[in-house]
Structure 1
Amino acid sequence: MDNFDEKSGTVPSKTPWGQWWQTMDEVCIMVDLAEITHPKEIKCIFKPKQIEVNIKGKTIIQGELTDLVHADDAIWTLEDKRQLRICLPKSIATPEKCWKSLLVSQYEADVITFDKMEQKMTLERFQTENPEFDFSGASVTGGYQGGGPKLPS
């Protein structure tokens, strides 16, 4: 699936501290750091439904995640001492579990971004179900909700 994401790109939702995006399998967070930061200055606490990120003693992200994650498999990396990347494996990995926001009532994707997230996750599902095809450059149209196009009523 990583190859699909590399080819198709991400659909990020911008935040005051950086951005977050998702795939069927995980939620990714990128925190832009204003100054050079060392790993010992970062504290990340992951729980199945909670996250807390502290940088140099300041809380950057804290709250209840939109859905459950495999907290024991969550990782963070520091890139060029200027960006913190966090990967949270989703407990339920399906297009129907497209997160509208990173935290409950915080960092919600706007309507257009959320629609693009759902479309990308649908293409990701198509890729998983049909590995002999390449859906990375494909596009789909229509309103999305629950991992697939809405059928006309």
Structure 2
Amino acid sequence: MSTHFEERSGVILCRTSWGSWYQTMEEVFIEVNVPHGTSGKEVRCNLGSKHIELHVKGQEIFKGKLFGTTVSDEGTWTLEDKCLIRIVLMKTNREAGNCWASLLEGQYCADAWVQDQMQRKLTLERFHRENPGFDFSGAEISGNFAGGGPDFSNLQK
């Protein structure tokens, strides 16, 4: 379900020196630009529930403790067109309030504007899931959206 919402509403990228990362309620996506012609044998990627490590051609791209926890056996990486590594991590906490502020603890942090936009996006994704008949892809929200936005679950329909 998150893929369809993402396709209609776009993504909020956090740019880094090696590429970018972004998130949905369920997943964290990492895109790493590598030299053209890179082969899969030249990539070493270790994905754990709390740690990640990526080396390309013997050089460390990043290594450290993830901002949040992931389901380690559901993480994947692919090498696309011999120039882009795409890593997909499945979050263990899949609530709109679980908006990662950085990819790794203290590294690759979203600036204040990007963090605000990421949280708004996850809140709209939550509203979309709670109201499947409505299209929130172009919606704008204001007010209290931090922590996943207001809780309407106890309202009568």
Cα distance in 1 between the residues matched to 2:81 and 2:144: 39
Percent identity between matched residues is 47
Cα distance in 2 between the residues matched to 1:116 and 1:34: 31
**How much is the aligned-residue C-alpha RMSD, in angstroms?**
1.1
Q: How far is 1:142 from its partner?
A: 3.4
Which position in structure 1 is the counterpart of 2:119?
A: 118
Aligned length in residues: 149
Cα distance in 2 between the residues matched to 1:21 and 1:143: 22
Pair 119,40 (structure 1): closer, same or farther in 2 beyond 3 Å = same
Q: How far is 1:92 from its partner?
A: 0.6
Tell me, yes or no, if the aligned pair for 1:121 and 1:147 is still in contact at 8 Å. yes
TM-score by length of 2: 0.91
Deviations 1:75-97 (A, max 9, x none): 11111111111000000101111
Which position in structure 2 is the counterpart of 1:52?
A: 53
Which position in structure 1 is the counterpart of 2:153?
A: none
Cα distance in 1 between the residues matched to 2:42 and 2:149: 42
Cα distance in 2 between the residues matched to 1:140 and 1:77: 35
Tell me, yes or no, if the aligned pair for 1:67 and 1:99 is still in contact at 8 Å. yes
Within-5 A mapping of 1:3-152:
3-142=4-143, 144-148=145-149
Cα distance in 2 between the residues matched to 1:114 and 1:17: 19
TM-score by length of 1: 0.93
Tell me, yes or no, if the aligned pair for 1:38 and 1:81 is still in contact at 8 Å. yes
Q: How far is 1:34 from its partner?
A: 2.9
Tell me, yes or no, if the aligned pair for 1:64 and 1:103 is still in contact at 8 Å. yes
Deviations 1:94-139 (A, max 9, x none): 1111000000000000000000000000000001101111111111
The list of structure 1 runs, each at least 4 consecutive aligned residues, that deviate by more than 6 angstroms after superposition, is none
Q: Which stretches in structure 1 are left out of the alignment for 5+ residues?
A: none
Tell me, yes or no, if the aligned pair for 1:115 and 1:143 is still in contact at 8 Å. no
Q: Which stretches in structure 2 are left out of the alignment for 5+ residues?
A: 151-157
Cα distance in 1 between the residues matched to 2:35 and 2:14: 19
Which position in structure 1 is the counterpart of 2:155?
A: none
